[in-house]
Amino acid sequence: MKRRGRKSGKTFKKSSGVSKIKYIDFINQNYRPTKNDLICLFRVEPAKGIKFEEAVGRVASESSNGTWTDVSIESSLIKELAAKAYYIQPPWTKIAYPHQLFEEGNMSQILSSIAGNIFGMKAVKKLRLEDIYWPETILNSFRGPTHGLRGVRKILKIYDRPITATVPKPKVGLTTNEYIDVAKEIWLGGVDLIKDDENLTNQSYIKFSERVKKMFRLRDKIERETGERKSYLINITAPYKEMIRRAKLVNDYGGEFVMIDILTVGWSALQSFRDINEEYQLAIHAHRAFHAAFTRDRRHGVSMKVIAEVARIIGVDQIHVGTVVGKLESPLTDVKALIQICRETRIKENMKIKILKKDWGKVKPIFPVSSGGIHPGLIPKIIEIFGNDLIIQVGGGVLGHPGGPRAGAKAVRDALEATINNINLEEASKHSRELREALDKWGYKTPI
Amino acid sequence: MKRRGRKSGKTFKKSSGVSKIKYIDFINQNYRPTKNDLICLFRVEPAKGIKFEEAVGRVASESSNGTWTDVSIESSLIKELAAKAYYIQPPWTKIAYPHQLFEEGNMSQILSSIAGNIFGMKAVKKLRLEDIYWPETILNSFRGPTHGLRGVRKILKIYDRPITATVPKPKVGLTTNEYIDVAKEIWLGGVDLIKDDENLTNQSYIKFSERVKKMFRLRDKIERETGERKSYLINITAPYKEMIRRAKLVNDYGGEFVMIDILTVGWSALQSFRDINEEYQLAIHAHRAFHAAFTRDRRHGVSMKVIAEVARIIGVDQIHVGTVVGKLESPLTDVKALIQICRETRIKENMKIKILKKDWGKVKPIFPVSSGGIHPGLIPKIIEIFGNDLIIQVGGGVLGHPGGPRAGAKAVRDALEATINNINLEEASKHSRELREALDKWGYKTPI
């Protein structure tokens, strides 16, 4: 066997003006980010024996174009493309990334850089990607929301109050006909949207194709009866090709929304779905199942802020952000920051809540969704936190009502109407047996 | 506005034989899982004030078909579909899930159930999905690897030794022509595969379409010169539609592999890619950038074992599993378990290393890839850990060689050939200047 290469052993020609690049080259406290740099705010806990600056330099290196050893290959672009850690306030650092490191319009690539290998580096004990400043050039390379907050209000013709949604429970285990029966009661009780839960897709006893058909037929009937707009957020979470097939069905039957578990589906399929959605113009409801696997430890992983930003940039129209008062952990400061991230067009940097500057430009505002362990007694508190531009989703708190789902839905709607009219729930419950029963069962308590 | 529903307030008709379902209904220590149940091994740390059994019951409930409150809706399927925690050995529990909870062939849906909301529940302080037993009925609903370990060996016609790969460094910053020049040296030095790094896709100075064309033209030339099979693992990470377009280009130019950042791409696109790949028959190299955001805390998130299993089931042909001795954290026990998960057909449950039984059936074994901070001095140790069925990937350890990339590649190949022939590196380095220089630079040390 010929093996010319192994014999030659010749040294690779180096270009002129060469110098080796080390972690220290990724730190520059005099650097002033340009408007095209993407900036990451990291919380860094160095491994034992590693200095803060070294850990930061290694993070900047590994997430841009460095590696663990000096290399003999040189190119004019290397220094130009290196990330620069320019803000060093242990445990915090801000790292600026030249936008040319990234492929425009490719979120998977961007995240493989700034949220990739670095979490496993031995040089850090813990590492948290807390927030991102997104430069215009990158923002504009994505489609952004199809409808956004205002577009969703237009679809539903609801302009003056929070929108309500209910997930029929048990989330898996109803047959198609049972699901339809429950949905009917919920819609008739006054809730606007029915939503599938994260793990209901196309099981043998509740097939997607039958469910979509029957649900939209029912929806049309109930809209005529009640004179209110209603819709159904059907879960199309599936392999990409199947997701598209299901979206087409939704469109064919007159649906306006789809629901996607964005994290278990992933960014690549979500992006292509958003592209194809130019044709269908469906509003995308983003469920965040799985997020707490990497958001919950506040010293490691990626924050929910970053996930909400990525989702808005790619183009979901509504996303779950927590409740503060529900069954899933979601502290007030986090939820407030997430509400801003969903709804604002400009945000000033605020290091108290660890949020970097945002200028969303043409990227439409989207709806925050509050969900998980909510019942009527919690609605005033939630509206106090969120204001009016909100989707309140109540599942167990409707289906668990002693009077059944229609009464449960009415209790939610009554609690909502009372709250936006500044009537307290005790007062309102004098005129609503359903609300009274809900308050008697759950009170005003936060569930665990 | 008519609002008939809100007036009626009628109670939803309950079916007969009804009983309410609570968290305690999700615990049954007498339950014997059937062969069709999917079983999850969780490590559970209850929140303050919550008993272990309650936390476990709530996890089983939320990940199957329960919710935080009792609900008045009943269906014959509810109890049948409930998950059952049948093994309670704090902090460990095994939960059995009836396979009907899941949609066959839909990995996103499966993970939304068993790795979804539960990580954020207030009832747990920390929660770790450590391993899964996959029943045949679910395994067989996925395609599995196109080529698998043996198929990849056949493509490369390398049957008797580990396969070597190198990522040209800097991972981003070379122009197309610089990349080609470096690749040529590496191939000529004796390395089998060139691989793009996780964040190199289609940047302005190194376009995908030009790179794929020039690299495979070069590859063909070098194969003729050296008489050895060579290939190129080009990174097609992108929105789904673009990923397919790029895979088609790879196929058109005679490529045999693609590289995908499976976690930042996501399961939905990966599954559809695997479907389409019936046409292209490309081998899929899975990079795991992002995993340590949720695998690293051994008490929370999802283990890398689970990720490797999911990847094999969907159908990647090779996946990164760590090095033990490299720059990224990967303890020996983990790596050993991952090697088994990649290569074995049957595995017995072993609670010492927290691995559940596996029976992979027709799902082909795949290649484990060892990568991240490797240099020639570490190769004997890595082969000792992995044995022969392994892809050793050396990036900085080739590109950082004082004699340049060709010398670096030769040092890797010489270290490999020596090791499999039971010659120690000091001895071998007497006949290989390149290996000697590598050992003089890096010794036998583990980098940080």
DSSP string, B413-447: HHHHHHHHTT--HHHHTTS-HHHHHHHHHHTTPPP
Q: What is the pLDDT of residue B142?
A: 98
Query: Does B59 have pLDDT greater than 70?
Result: yes
Q: Which residue of B has its CA nearest to A15?
A: B178
| Contact check, Cβ <8 Å, A271/B407 | no
- Give residue-wise pLDDT tens across range B393-431: 999 899 999 999 999 999 999 999 999 999 999 999 999
Q: What is the pLDDT of residue B87?
A: 98
Lowest mean pLDDT among A84-93, A167-176, B272-281, B375-384: A167-176
Query: Does B2 have pLDDT greater than 70?
Result: no
pLDDT average, residue stretch A45-51? 96
Give how far B352 is from chain A: nearest CA, Å.
24
Q: Among A125, A126, A169, A213, which one carries the catalytic annotation?
A: A169
Strands B257-261 and B193-195: unpaired
Query: Does A214 have pLDDT greater than 60?
Result: yes
DSSP A4: H
pLDDT average, residue stretch B3-26? 48
Angle subtended at Cα B23 by Cα A396 and Cα B82, rounded to the nearest 5 degrees: 85
pLDDT average, residue stretch A46-65? 94
Q: How far is CA A88 from CA A84, A134, A145, A252, B252, in A?
A: 11, 20, 35, 54, 48
Instruction: List phi, psi (to 5°) of B237.
Output: -50, 120
A185 touches chain B (CB under 8 A): yes
Instruction: List phi, psi (to 5°) of B352.
Output: -65, -45
Contacts of A261 in chain B (CB under 8 A): 108-109, 112, 116
| Contact check, Cβ <8 Å, A328/B173 | no
Contacts of A3 in chain B (CB under 8 A): 190, 226-228
Query: How many whole angstroms separate alpha carbon B119 and alpha carbon A328?
Result: 9
Give how far B128 is from chain A: nearest CA, Å.
8
Q: How many CB atoms lie within 10 A of CB B156?
A: 18
Confidence of residue A18 (pLDDT cuts 50, 70, 90): very low
Q: What is the pLDDT of residue B73?
A: 67
Q: What is the pLDDT of residue B3?
A: 43
Q: Which of B198, B236, B240 to mutate to test the interface with A (most CBs of A within 10 A)?
A: B240
Query: How many whole angstroms separate alpha carbon B218 and alpha carbon A171?
Result: 55
A122 touches chain B (CB under 8 A): yes
pLDDT average, residue stretch B261-289? 98
Percent of chain A exceeding pLDDT 70 equals 94
Contacts of B182 in chain A (CB under 8 A): 12, 73
Q: Which residue of A has its CA nearest to B49?
A: A448
Q: What is the pLDDT of residue B72?
A: 65
Q: At what angle do helices A240-252 and B267-280 cross, to 10 degrees?
A: 110
Instruction: List phi, psi (to 5°) of B361.
Output: 55, -120
Helix, strand, coil percent content, chain A, rounded in steps of 5: 45, 15, 40
Query: Does A54 have pLDDT greater than 60?
Result: yes
Percent of chain B exceeding pLDDT 70 equals 94
DSSP A122: T
ipTM of predicted assembly, 2 dp: 0.95
Q: What is the pLDDT of residue A73?
A: 67
| Contact check, Cβ <8 Å, A269/B269 | yes
| Contact check, Cβ <8 Å, A109/B238 | yes
Contacts of A302 in chain B (CB under 8 A): 293
Confidence of residue B346 (pLDDT cuts 50, 70, 90): very high
User: Counting every residue, how long is chain A?
Assistant: 448
Confidence of residue B244 (pLDDT cuts 50, 70, 90): very high
| Contact check, Cβ <8 Å, B205/A100 | yes
Q: Strand, helix or coil at A22?
A: coil
Alpha helices of A227-368 — where are they, by DSSP H? 240-252, 262-265, 267-280, 292-295, 304-314, 332-343
Q: How many CB atoms lie within 10 A of CB B217?
A: 13
- Upstream peptide bond of A170 is cis (omega within 30 degrees of 0): yes
Give how far A255 is from chain B: nearest CA, Å.
21
The residues with which B132 forms a beta bridge, in sequence order, are B40
CB A136 within 8 A of CB A35: yes
Query: Does B9 have pLDDT greater than 80?
Result: no
Task: Report which of residues A47 and A12 the model is more confident about.
Answer: A47
Residues 6+ apart with CB under 8 A from B120: A291, A292, A295, A296, A328, A329, A330, A372
pLDDT average, residue stretch B176-201? 96
Sign (positive or negative) of CA dihedral B143, B144, B145, B150: negative
Give how far B21 is from chain A: nearest CA, Å.
10
Q: How far is CA B144 from CA B285, B305, B316, B391, in A?
A: 14, 16, 7, 19
Q: What is the pLDDT of residue B21?
A: 56
Give how far B412 is from chain A: nearest CA, Å.
11
Q: How many CB atoms lie within 10 A of CB A317?
A: 26
Residues 6+ apart with CB under 8 A from B242: A106, A272
A304 touches chain B (CB under 8 A): no
Query: How many whole angstroms separate alpha carbon A412 and alpha carbon A391?
Result: 12
Give how far B300 is from chain A: nearest CA, Å.
7
Tokens at B225, concatenated: 């010169």
B47 touches chain A (CB under 8 A): yes
Confidence of residue A67 (pLDDT cuts 50, 70, 90): confident
Task: Report which of residues A5 and B215 the model is more confident about.
Answer: B215
Query: How many whole angstroms separate alpha carbon A165 and alpha carbon A163?
Result: 7
Confidence of residue A105 (pLDDT cuts 50, 70, 90): very high
Q: Which residues of B270-287 are buried (b: 16+ CB within 10 A; e: fewer)?
A: bbbbbbbbeebebbbbbb
Query: Does B115 have pLDDT greater than 80?
Result: yes
Lowest mean pLDDT among A1-10, A66-75, A143-152, B57-66: A1-10
A427 CB burial (10 A radius; 0-12, 13-18, 19+) = exposed
Query: How many whole angstroms separate alpha carbon A437 and alpha carbon A18?
Result: 77
Query: Does A15 have pLDDT greater than 70?
Result: no
Tokens at A313, concatenated: 């940039």
- Give residue-wise pLDDT tens across range A236-283: 999 999 999 999 999 999 999 999 999 999 999 999 999 999 999 999
Q: Which of B1, B19, B71, B234 to mutate to test the interface with A (most CBs of A within 10 A)?
A: B71
B171 has catalytic annotation: no
pLDDT average, residue stretch B74-95? 90
- Give residue-wise pLDDT tens across range A355-397: 999 999 999 999 999 998 899 999 999 999 999 999 999 998 9
Query: Does A2 have pLDDT greater than 60?
Result: no
Query: Does B255 have pLDDT greater than 90?
Result: yes
B399 touches chain A (CB under 8 A): yes
A169 has catalytic annotation: yes
| Contact check, Cβ <8 Å, A173/B293 | no
Query: Does B18 have pLDDT greater than 70?
Result: no
DSSP B206: B
Query: Does B19 have pLDDT greater than 50?
Result: no
- Give residue-wise pLDDT tens across range B96-110: 999 999 999 999 999
Confidence of residue B74 (pLDDT cuts 50, 70, 90): low
Confidence of residue A17 (pLDDT cuts 50, 70, 90): very low
Q: What is the pLDDT of residue A72?
A: 65
**Nearest CB neighbour to B116, from listed A5, A189, A290:** A290
CB A316 within 8 A of CB A286: yes
Task: Please give the domain boundaries of chain A with CATH numbers for all domains.
Answer: 19-139 (3.30.70.150), 148-441 (3.20.20.110)
Contacts of B80 in chain A (CB under 8 A): 173
Q: How many CB atoms lie within 10 A of CB B74?
A: 21
Contacts of A67 in chain B (CB under 8 A): 169-171, 395-396, 399-400
